[in-house]
Structure 1
Amino acid sequence: MQEHEERKQRRLDARSLRGLAHPLRMQLLDALRHHGPATASQLAERLGESSGATSYHLRQLAEHGFVEDAPERGKGRERWWQAVDQSIRYDSTDFEDASPEVRGLTEVFMQEGAARHGRELAAWLATRDRWSQTWSSASDMSDATVRLTPDLAAELIGKMHALIDDYRGRVPDKDTPKSEQVRIHTHLFPIETD
């Protein structure tokens, strides 16, 4: 098994949140992370947007360090983009004393993330009959309710992330038979019980 490349993670701060908290920018970044380098025109076609809009928002993402040129792909005037980091870490404690503007951007970021999770799950449900029975049996859509303190909730989140990280790199490359990229969504939040 070959050594897996360390997946770079970026922790959001107020400045980077200003550059990312826009639905199209978040979709562009996700597309580059999941599908690899692309041009603004290719991304426009994939996302159903104009190439002018994707080009503008890619430049904004680049200004904030989320994407960069993929020069080994470019030919002539064709500009290819690639994601800089493979994941984003949002820590709400970093924004406790944030300005109203930054709190608004946080809301955009969180709502778009939740919408993306919903779109991905809906896409799976709509296409699950195209996958083998083995993959259908290996998928999961479950929920659980437990009573925790904030400390125990943070501990559980840490353990879930560590478990997921333990599975990174176990499959050496995309040519491994029966291997596919999988999406894992975790959500942990308190609920009203009255």
Structure 2
Amino acid sequence: MKDEDEAPLYLDDHERLKALAHPMRRRMLSHLNVHGPATSTTLGELLGAKTGTTSYHLRQLEKYGFIEEIPERSTGRERWWRKADMPRDIRTPNFRDVAPESRAVLEEFYRIGMAEDRALMDRFGAAYLRDPDWAKASRGFGRMTKEGFDAFFEEYIALLSKYSYRADDAPPDARPLYIRMFALPADDT
């Protein structure tokens, strides 16, 4: 489980955010996160991409610290990659606070993320029918002040961290789970 003093990772660097605002990189990172280490060739086969393309994107993810090579598994031209040990709490800057040249990158980051989330929502019904003990959902409505909403969000992140394991520390019965929380004003139509 998480160290209580682990600080969030802020994606406030334009180039680092840009590295995650690419659909193939996001799919590669997701695969490494869920399934563990892989090679460029393996990822290319899974994603329908050429090895040169996956190698380039893996190097971009490595450059900004999202993945790392596994030297003890890599031999010759075959390089093995894994997700880097990073905080689970990854945050983006407030749209109003980013430089104008970064706004398009931040918009793309969220566009890709929301497309991923819609795909997960489309899979939810079948996942629930397969195994309702591992597919849970909640819909809520509340009235909060800005300060209360900020506190709610921080407690949600703390709760998520409290019950989550890193892949290397997870007990045998732990499963990787997609967990999403988003909120938006109900009166902003």
What TM-score comes out, normalization by structure 1 length? 0.80
Contact 2:89 2:157 in 1 (8 A): no
**Alpha-carbon separation, structure 2, partners of 1:45 and 1:59:** 18
**Alpha-carbon separation, structure 1, partners of 2:15 and 2:136:** 36
Contact 1:12 1:88 in 2 (8 A): no
Q: Structure 2: which 5+ residue stretches go unaligned?
A: none
**Alpha-carbon separation, structure 2, partners of 1:193 and 1:97:** 21
**Alpha-carbon separation, structure 1, partners of 2:64 and 2:123:** 30
Partner of 2:57: 57
Deviation at 1:60, TM superposition (A): 1.3
Partner of 1:175: 172
Per-residue deviation, residues 93-134 of structure 1 (Å, max 9, x unmatched): 3x5342332100001111111111222232343344443xxx
Aligned partner (choices 149, 156, 162) of residue 152 of structure 2: 156
**Alpha-carbon separation, structure 2, partners of 1:193 and 1:53:** 42
Q: Structure 1: which 5+ residue stretches go unaligned?
A: none
Contact 1:33 1:86 in 2 (8 A): no
Contact 1:70 1:82 in 2 (8 A): yes
Contact 2:37 2:80 in 1 (8 A): yes
Residues paired across the two proteins, number: 183
Taking the TM superposition and a 5 Å limit, the aligned residue runs for 1:1-194 are 4=1, 10-13=9-12, 14-84=14-84, 85=86, 87=88, 89-93=90-94, 96-131=96-131, 136-169=132-165, 173-176=170-173, 179-192=174-187
**Alpha-carbon separation, structure 2, partners of 1:152 and 1:187:** 15
Contact 1:37 1:81 in 2 (8 A): yes
Task: Show structure 1 runs of 4+ deviating over 4 A.
Answer: 4-9
**Alpha-carbon separation, structure 1, partners of 2:72 and 2:87:** 19
**Alpha-carbon separation, structure 1, partners of 2:130 and 2:75:** 36
What TM-score comes out, normalization by structure 2 length? 0.82
Deviation at 1:173, TM superposition (A): 3.2
Flag the 1:130–1:50 CA change in 2: closer, same or farther, 3 A: farther
Identical-residue share of aligned pairs (%): 32
